[in-house]
Amino acid sequence: MAAQARPQLIGAPVAGFADEARRALERHPEARLVVFPELHLFGDGVPDLQREGALRGAAEPLDGPRVEALSALALELGVWLVPGSVCELGPHGELFNTQIVLSPEGRLAGSYRKIFPWRPHEPYEPGNRFVVVDLDGLGRVGLNICYDAWFPETTRQLAWMGAEVILNVVKTTTADRAQELVLARANAIVNQVFVVSVNCAGPTGMGRSIIVDPEGEALAEAPDAAPALLAADLDLAAVARVRTHGTAGVNRMWSQFRPGEPAIPLPVYQGRIDPATWQPATSPSESTGHVDVAPAPIRSTP
């Protein structure tokens, strides 16, 4: 379930968010994964660059009391919980925009620092690792934050690591949400994965959250910026089916190369596509974890 919601006020007790999550699950008790927008717990309507002091004041390390309280909430609800992203205080005082995944057992199952902050408007340091998390029966999800979707390297790398679903948490307050909907579909199509792009609701955000299947079809979509809950049953077998038979029964990008064909250099990444290893990971043990951002994007060797 994707919750297109208005941001909680920065510094507000986690109890308010807990009530919000409980109400969402009352409406969709069948949900096993609940995803909220980017920086959902850090809202006040002021652009991030203008409120860096407030963000730093609210930032905590991931072993701090905020994530501890959110972990307890995931345990109480018995669901996989992505409370958007949080302001993480790094070990040297850095400020990161970090997406977290909490398990139904109440543990921090994965975290991802946004690699592409929206420069020059955001005060965050960039992360340097891609992250895919195995959700124990719900598939493998790649973590992705807002502006990351504008860089095709990010979704391609996550798909190559074995992601079947891309969780793109968003806080788009500007007029480019229409283009982001195109990107959500395009990233799904060219990587043959599901994309869940959940934006914050108005008046802060532009809304229009969307869940897209591996062929680019919208399974659920919010028509406007009003608060909304999008629910969809993701048939993960569709990923293998589309990759086997082709998008629209035609295109099989992950089967593009034949054995023995030469590698294709990609100078912009100081890397290459090697036909010998140009294929996505297929097991949780292969796909879960992190890889360095450079020169990893689209590089064929781990």
pLDDT tens sequence across 12-62: 999 999 999 999 999 999 999 999 999 999 998 666 667 888 999 999 999
The count of residues in the chain is 302
Query: What pLDDT, on a 0 to 100 scale, did the predictor assign at position 221?
Result: 98
**pLDDT tens sequence across 83-105:** 999 999 999 999 999 999 999 99
3-state DSSP assignment of residue 282: coil
Buried/exposed 42-77: b ≥16 CB within 10 Å, e otherwise: bbeeeebeebeebbeebbeebeeebbeebbebbbeb
Query: What pLDDT, on a 0 to 100 scale, did the predictor assign at position 288?
Result: 42
Catalytic positions, please?
38, 114, 146
Residue 167: in which H helix or E strand, if any? strand 165-169
Contacts with 293 (C-beta within 8 Å, 6 or more apart), sequence order: 115, 127, 128, 129, 130
Q: What is the largest CA-CA distance in the chain?
A: 58
Cα–Cα distance measured from residue 199 to residue 183, given in angstroms and rounded to the nearest whole number: 14
Cα–Cα distance measured from residue 49 to residue 117, given in angstroms and rounded to the nearest whole number: 11
Cα–Cα distance measured from residue 158 to residue 112, given in angstroms and rounded to the nearest whole number: 12
Domains and CATH numbers, the chain: 2-256 (3.60.110.10)
Residue ranges of the chain with pLDDT lower than 70? 45-49, 283-302
**Residue-averaged pLDDT of the chain:** 91
Query: What pLDDT, on a 0 to 100 scale, did the predictor assign at position 45?
Result: 64
Which backbone phi and psi does 139 adopt, to 5 degrees?
95, -175
Residue 10's CB: how many other CB atoms inside 10 A?
17
Across the beta sheet with 210-212, the strand order is 218-221, 210-212, 194-198, 165-169, 140-145, 129-134, 289-292
Contacts with 175 (C-beta within 8 Å, 6 or more apart), sequence order: 206
Query: What pLDDT, on a 0 to 100 scale, did the predictor assign at position 158?
Result: 97
The tokens describing 184, both together, are 């959500």
Cα–Cα distance measured from residue 112 to residue 146, given in angstroms and rounded to the nearest whole number: 12
Angle CA(162)–CA(36)–CA(195) in degrees, nearest 5?
A: 35
